[in-house]
């Protein structure tokens, strides 16, 4: 059913201060109002204007009570939302109408919107003044329509000789039909536009589309879909997408399993891709040494895949990283003598995380990191530093950690090592630790390190 909400207000006159109220109540089924009936359209216009003065339309396309004032726009979208609101809410509106004594003749019926007219005594034609056109612009041969306040005549309260009456009409609104289909909410329309662009391969829309899924803007909140689109954007080496992915894995929820090592890994990746603040997400957080070392290990896998030239967005998921690790294990078994130092670090990480024999093996992992460090690999030194700093498997010794971190930083130029140094340097950089670091740096650069050198580091007194 088509409805027009175009206003058709009655021409009224007189001061409201002199009026004596006349009350009436009417149940109005908006679905039954006829689009071609002037009386119905006049009534609908009154109802719509009063509703607009009492309700506001929020950004989600839903109505809320307002504090007064015309907060609701007079648009097709607002009118459709109005019908949906009436169907699901018990709504009453109080409408004030002005009539003159004698016009209703005690029946409670108010003349139509064009109440100022005269009749030509020669032709019988009736003319009315619209306020814009002369009397002879419109011509009627039939009586003008009237608008009933109630199904039954209301009691006509005398006007006290003023000639003016105020009719107070209580409309109880219902809607028995099916309201017209809603237009998309602004956020929904924006989401659909983003989705269309993303499916067409426009990578500039990926990040915003992911944020829509992450926050539920214009669509159902869905963490897994958010991760999917963040990953597609991160595949273009966008550091912001990597950082936002990190926040998703750190929080978990909405169908996404919390994974702190993955969160740490993605913060590291974000820093490598250009972020100047990614490490602020790590520094000062209460992460465990296994979490950090695992996250750092994952970051290396992700960065390696990004540099391979044929990366896939699955690398930004724990499952994707595990797939890379399995491939590397198969390769190391096939070629056991290739890159011995690298294999020692990789074996140590698998032992640390339980990917080697199903359970974490701290003692075996520590021995593997010693072997990697003896081969001059900075990753092995960094792991030894964290073992010493956190007291993992070995007695806590942060001065020893300072030496290991410093050696790793000098030999590998890894920002995570520089960050680790800064976290303990002020208190645990003792003269003895500094002297031992400088001596061992020469030893490592000459590839002459022995197990005794590692024993010397572990024997330092903590500052």
Most confident by average pLDDT, 126-130, 303-307, 329-333: 303-307
Q: Are residues 392 and 257 in the same domain?
A: yes
Q: 32 and 169, same structural domain?
A: yes
Cβ pair 10, 112 in contact under 8 A: yes
Is the same domain home to 132 and 41? yes
Distance CA 160, CA 101 (A): 10
Q: Are 4 and 76 in contact (CB under 8 A)?
A: no
* 266 and 139 within one domain: no
What share of the chain in percent tops pLDDT 70?
A: 70
pLDDT of residue 172: 92
| Residue 285 covered by a domain | yes
Q: Within 13 Å of residue 369, how many CA atoms lie on the same side as its CB?
A: 28
Lowest-confidence segment of 24-38, 346-360, 363-377 by average pLDDT: 346-360
> For 74-83, what is the mean pLDDT?
85
Q: What's the average model confidence in pLDDT over 18-43? A: 80
Alpha helix (H) residue ranges in 315-392? 318-334, 340-353, 362-374, 378-390
pLDDT of 268 strictly over 70: yes
Maximal C-alpha separation, the chain: 128
pLDDT band at 110 (very low <50, low <70, confident <90, very high): low
* Shared domain check, 262 and 164: no
Those residues with Cβ within 8 angstroms of residue 107's Cβ, 6 or more apart along the chain or in another chain: 153, 156
Residue 310 lies in a domain: yes
Give the C-alpha separation, 55 to 162, whole Å: 35
47 assigned to some structural domain = yes
Lowest mean pLDDT among 27-36, 97-106, 243-252, 436-445: 97-106
Instruction: Compute the average pLDDT of residues 114-134.
Output: 46
- Tokens 């690790």 sit on residue: 325
Say whether pLDDT at 85 is over 60: yes
Question: Is position 292 within any domain?
Answer: yes
pLDDT at 226: 92
Q: Are residues 371 and 249 in the same domain?
A: yes
Q: What angle do CA 249, 354, 371 make, to 5 degrees?
A: 110
Tokens (6 digits) for 228:
């999917």
Q: Is the pLDDT reported for residue 232 higher than 90? A: yes
> Mean pLDDT: which of 16-25, 134-143, 223-232, 348-357 is highest?
223-232
Residue 180 placed within a domain: no
Is there a single domain that holds both residue 145 and residue 247?
no
Residue 235 inside a domain? The answer is no
pLDDT score recorded for residue 233: 93
Domain count, the chain: 2
**How sure is the predictor about 151, in pLDDT bands with cuts at 50, 70 and 90?**
very low
217: pLDDT strictly greater than 90 = no
The predicted model gives 64-69 an average pLDDT of 74
Domain identity same for 259 and 408: yes
Question: What is the domain extent for residue 165?
Answer: 16-174
Residues 133 and 256 occupy one common structural domain: no
Is 80 exceeded by the pLDDT of residue 401?
yes
The pLDDT, as a whole number, for residue 231 is 93
In this structure, is residue 10 part of a structural domain? Answer: no
Taking 80 as the threshold, does the pLDDT of residue 80 lie above it? yes
Look at residue 230 and tell me whether its pLDDT is greater than 90: yes
Predicted pLDDT at 281: 55
Mean confidence (pLDDT) of the chain: 77
Evaluate if residue 378 carries a pLDDT over 70: yes
- What pLDDT sits at residue 293? 87
C-alpha to C-alpha distances, 171 to 24, 26, 44, 332, nearest whole angstrom: 9, 5, 11, 81
| Residue 166 or residue 178, greater confidence | 178
* pLDDT above 70 for 129: no
Tell me: do 121 and 260 sit in the same domain.
no
> With 80 as the cut, is the pLDDT of residue 300 above it?
yes
- Mean pLDDT for the stretch of residues 274-282: 64
215: in domain: no
Between 20 and 327, the more confident residue is 327
Residues 169 and 266 in one domain: no
What's the pLDDT band for 154 if we cut at 50, 70, 90?
very low
Q: Which of 132, 152, 174 finishes a domain?
A: 174
Which of 174, 197, 215 is the last residue before a domain boundary? Answer: 174
245, 166: one domain: no
Q: Judge whether 342 and 329 are in contact, CB under 8 Å.
A: no
Q: How far apart are CA 315 and CA 227, in angstroms?
A: 12
- pLDDT exceeds cutoff 60 at 11: no
Decide which of 289 and 60 is more confident: 289
pLDDT band, very low/low/confident/very high, at 107 (cuts 50, 70, 90): low
pLDDT band at 60 (very low <50, low <70, confident <90, very high): low
The pLDDT score that the predictor gives to residue 14 is 39
User: Pick from 174, 189, 217: which residue ends a domain?
Assistant: 174
Instruction: Report how far residue 191's alpha carbon sits from residue 185's, in angstroms, rounded to the nearest whole number.
Output: 10
**Confidence class of residue 139 from pLDDT cuts 50, 70 and 90?**
very low
């Amino acid at each position: 059913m088509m409805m027009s909400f175009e206003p058709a207000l009655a021409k009224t006159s007189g001061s409201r201060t002199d009026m004596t109220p006349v009350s009436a109540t009417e149940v109005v089924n908006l679905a039954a109002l006829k689009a071609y009936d002037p009386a119905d359209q006049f009534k609908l216009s009154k109802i719509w204007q009063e509703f607009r003065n009492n309700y506001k339309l929020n950004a989600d396309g839903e109505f809320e009570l307002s504090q007064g004032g015309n907060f609701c726009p007079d648009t097709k979208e607002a009118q459709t939302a109005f019908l949906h609101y009436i169907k699901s809410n018990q709504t009453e509106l109080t409408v004030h109408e002005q009539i003159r004594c004698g016009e209703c003749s005690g029946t409670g019926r108010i003349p139509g919107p064009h109440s100022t007219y005269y009749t030509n005594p020669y032709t019988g034609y009736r003319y009315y003044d619209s306020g814009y056109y002369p009397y002879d612009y419109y011509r009627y041969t039939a009586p003008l329509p009237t608008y009933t306040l109630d199904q039954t005549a209301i009691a006509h309260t005398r006007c006290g000789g003023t000639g003016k009456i105020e009719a107070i009409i209580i409309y109880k609104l219902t809607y028995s039909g099916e309201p017209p289909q809603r237009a998309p909410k602004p956020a929904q329309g924006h989401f659909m536009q983003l989705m269309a662009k993303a499916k067409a391969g426009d990578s500039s829309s990926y990040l915003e589309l992911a944020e829509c899924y992450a926050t539920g803007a214009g669509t159902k909140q869905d963490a897994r879909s958010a991760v999917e689109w963040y990953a597609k954007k991160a595949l273009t080496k966008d550091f912001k997408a990597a950082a936002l992915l990190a926040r998703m894995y750190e929080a978990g929820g909405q169908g996404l399993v919390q994974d702190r090592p993955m969160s740490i890994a993605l913060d590291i990746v974000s820093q490598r891709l250009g972020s100047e603040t990614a490490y602020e997400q790590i520094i000062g957080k209460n992460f465990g040494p296994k979490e950090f070392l695992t996250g750092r290990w994952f970051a290396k896998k992700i960065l390696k895949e990004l540099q391979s030239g044929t990366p896939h967005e699955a690398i930004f998921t724990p499952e994707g990283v595990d797939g890379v690790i399995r491939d590397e294990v198969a390769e190391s078994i096939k070629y056991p003598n290739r890159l011995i130092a690298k294999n020692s670090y990789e074996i140590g990480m698998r032992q640390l995380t339980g990917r080697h024999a199903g359970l974490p093996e701290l003692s075996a992992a520590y021995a593997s990191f010693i072997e990697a460090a003896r081969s001059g690999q900075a990753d092995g030194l960094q792991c030894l530093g964290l073992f010493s700093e956190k007291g993992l498997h070995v007695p806590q010794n942060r001065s020893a950690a300072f030496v290991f971190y410093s050696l790793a930083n000098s030999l590998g130029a890894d920002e995570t090592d520089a960050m680790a140094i800064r976290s303990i340097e002020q208190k645990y950089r003792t003269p003895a630790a500094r002297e031992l670091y400088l001596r061992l740096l020469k030893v490592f650069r000459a590839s002459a390190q022995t197990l005794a050198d590692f024993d010397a580091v572990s024997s330092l007194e903590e500052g």
